[in-house]
Structure 1
Amino acid sequence: MANAEMLAKVKNANGFIAALDQSGGSTPGALKGYGYKGDEWSSEDEMYDLVHKMRVRIISSPVFTGEKVLGAILFERTMDGEANGQPVPDYLWSKGVVPFLKIDKGLADEANGVQLMKPMPELDSLLERAVAKGIFGTKERSVIHLANPAGIAEVVGQQFEIGNQVLRHGLVPIIEPEVNIKSAERAEADELLRDEILRHLDRLPEGSEVMLKLSIPAVPGTFDALIAHPRVLRVVALSGGFSRGDACRELAKNPGMIASFSRALLEELRQDTSEEEFDRSLGEAIDEIYDASTEKVAA
């Protein structure tokens, strides 16, 4: 079963969840955003070593603590790595930050206006490893591009199928059916997604709780019914391509929704800055995202 202390923190504490889970095709972009030119690595292993160093620098910063950061979502290699001589999940929890694991293997090609998750044939063994390493929950992402009812139903069905598999291992799934914020049908897709998720939430076994990671809705308040649902532990928001300033402004219009940002958290961090400047930039980002997660404004 999920760690009771971690569960209480995720459910009740103020703060947000840092997404430090770039993998595969998104890793080169994350490194370039961090200030690398792209010629600093010549193999996949070297690339992942650099991104691991970036993540360790972030979580080792004195401003990255459980006071404002509730949790951190990790890539599998990060879960298996170390930070300051400790396994990364243990190190995070020593700072009061709850560890999560990204489990999806990327996106399938678009069909019916959506992209499903690729198959995960070895998921049970990965979940067993996650439990052994002290992981609290998981995250799995698919993407919705159009307000296609059949496609959205398929995405949500797959998400909850995987979510139930995660629950059987005693972990808490973060279900992430992202709506593309550039979609011309974004508002309608938000509504279809909300209604489909509600149908699946009502079918969850008694006592089961999931988390939801959703794009900030086009119309503030669209996801209020999900936030209030008794089977939902927390609703978190992805930045989805918004700058940090825009993402925070939009998030602040949605009471009960907290951040789980990746690019918007890291956008001003650079590998060649001094530790003092790095900590200052990271601290400013954490403060801004924390405020948008906890201090809400009228839409």
Structure 2
Amino acid sequence: MAQDKAVFAKQKEQMHTGKGFIAALDQSGGSTPKALLQYGVEESEYAGEAEMYGEIHKMRTRIITAPDFTDQKVLGAILFERTMRAEIEGLPTAQYLWEKRGVVPFLKIDKGLADKADGVQMMKPMPGLEALLTEAAQDFGIFGTKERSVIHEANAAGIKAIVDQQVEVGKMVIAAGMVPIMEPEVDINSPTKAEAEEILRAELMAHLDQLAEGEDVMIKLTIPTVAGLYDDLADHPRCVRVVALSGGYKTDDACERLSKQPKMIASFSRALAEGLSKKQSDDDFNALLGSNIDKIYRASI
């Protein structure tokens, strides 16, 4: 499913103005066993990496094919690379999302976090990134990407380095014909969270002001301590949307905090899958997922 200009324009408009949220279905590597355990799959139930990823794909397929997982409330979904290469009901996952659900597909591209320095964790090197970006856009019809780094304290040098790296990678994504979701997460447990967010907002705004017309980005941020802190980022002509990560908050807490941010929509992972279990009947699974989707949707609008 190669990228189509008319489809891309429609997807971009959906991400810019649509009512709803982005589902983060991109747990990978070290976080996969934890996600499976939450879903009721013990490590003894699979042997090796291939079986583990097989189990997580079954979980994601069950979520994506659920009755409430449509563009009525879910605007986009972030996929892990293996999920992009896998299929749902005989279609590549991204194609299924868009054609059968009306949900815009994104791809997680970072390779995890480097060790902490200057109060932050930068993204690890991403060998082969240009080839992956070309393949994602041209072969799979992926609309955008997501790349995460983490801020632990209000260290101006560290936060500047994080944003510089995010923008550098973001420009590679734009050059490949996609929209990057830059995700400089602020740790919700940081004792200097509010101060870090002020520094981050200023750094992001400075970079947005330097982007040329057509160099459009999305930004995924921790729900800020100060309500409305990121409103001016959301209003910037180079910013398609500002989205919020749940950051470890429980679903109800994350939704309550997000409801105070009029210009942010959710991009939740743990909160979306909270309470779901492999052992639930389809009716029970779909009812609980539908309830989670509705909570996150209402907090996003």
Answer whether TM exceeds 0.5 for this pair: yes
Q: Say if 2:186 and 2:221, in contact at 8 Å, map to a contact too.
A: yes
Tell me the equivalent position of 1:183: 190
Partner of 1:202, secondary structure, is: helix
Deviates more, 1:110-119 or 1:203-212: 203-212
Identity of aligned residues (%): 59
Answering whether residue 96 of structure 2 is matched by residue 80 of structure 1, we say: no
Tell me how far 1:208 sits from its aligned partner.
1.7
Between the aligned partners of 1:205 and 1:219, the Cα distance in structure 2 is 29
1:10 to 3, 15, 22: 15
Partner of 2:224, secondary structure, is: coil
Tell me the equivalent position of 1:234: 241
Tell me the equivalent position of 1:297: none
Tell me the equivalent position of 2:180: 173
Partner of 2:24, secondary structure, is: strand
Tell me the equivalent position of 2:120: 114
Following TM superposition, the consecutive aligned residue runs of length 4 or more in structure 1 with deviations greater than 3 angstroms are: none
Q: Which amino acid aligns with 1:134?
A: G
Between the aligned partners of 2:136 and 2:81, the Cα distance in structure 1 is 9
RMSD between aligned residues? 0.8
Q: Following superposition of structure 1 onto structure 2, how do residues 214-233 of structure 1 map, counting pairs within 5 Å?
A: 214-233=221-240
Tell me how far 1:230 sits from its aligned partner.
0.9
Tell me how far 1:207 sits from its aligned partner.
2.2
The gaps in structure 1 that reach 5 residues or longer are: 295-299
Partner of 1:29, secondary structure, is: helix
Tell me the equivalent position of 2:72: 67
Tell me the alpha carbon deviations over residues 186-235 of structure 1, each in whole angstroms, 9 at most, x when there is no partner: 00000000000011111111222100000000111111111111110000
Answering whether residue 38 of structure 2 is matched by residue 29 of structure 1, we say: no
Tell me the equivalent position of 1:291: 298
Q: Following superposition of structure 1 onto structure 2, how do residues 263-278 of structure 1 map, counting pairs within 5 Å?
A: 263-278=270-285
Q: Which amino acid aligns with 1:109?
A: D
Partner of 2:183, secondary structure, is: strand
Between the aligned partners of 2:148 and 2:175, the Cα distance in structure 1 is 19
Tell me the equivalent position of 2:131: 125
Q: Following superposition of structure 1 onto structure 2, how do residues 147-226 of structure 1 map, counting pairs within 5 Å?
A: 147-226=154-233
Partner of 2:210, secondary structure, is: coil
Answering whether residue 256 of structure 2 is matched by residue 249 of structure 1, we say: yes
Between the aligned partners of 1:231 and 1:128, the Cα distance in structure 2 is 22
Between the aligned partners of 1:188 and 1:227, the Cα distance in structure 2 is 20
Answering whether residue 46 of structure 2 is matched by residue 41 of structure 1, we say: yes
Q: Which amino acid aligns with 1:91?
A: Y
* Matched pairs, number: 294
Partner of 1:64, secondary structure, is: coil
Tell me the equivalent position of 1:101: 107
Between the aligned partners of 1:112 and 1:82, the Cα distance in structure 2 is 41
Between the aligned partners of 1:270 and 1:121, the Cα distance in structure 2 is 35
Q: Which amino acid aligns with 1:244?
A: T
Between the aligned partners of 1:237 and 1:254, the Cα distance in structure 2 is 9
Task: Give the TM-score taking structure 2 as reference length.
Answer: 0.97
Partner of 1:163, secondary structure, is: helix
Between the aligned partners of 2:11 and 2:229, the Cα distance in structure 1 is 28
Tell me the alpha carbon deviations over residues 47-95 of structure 1, each in whole angstroms, 9 at most, x when there is no partner: 0000011000100111111110000000000000000111100100021
Between the aligned partners of 1:206 and 1:85, the Cα distance in structure 2 is 38
Tell me the equivalent position of 2:287: 280
Answering whether residue 142 of structure 2 is matched by residue 135 of structure 1, we say: yes
Between the aligned partners of 1:22 and 1:105, the Cα distance in structure 2 is 12
Between the aligned partners of 2:17 and 2:230, the Cα distance in structure 1 is 19
Between the aligned partners of 1:283 and 1:255, the Cα distance in structure 2 is 23
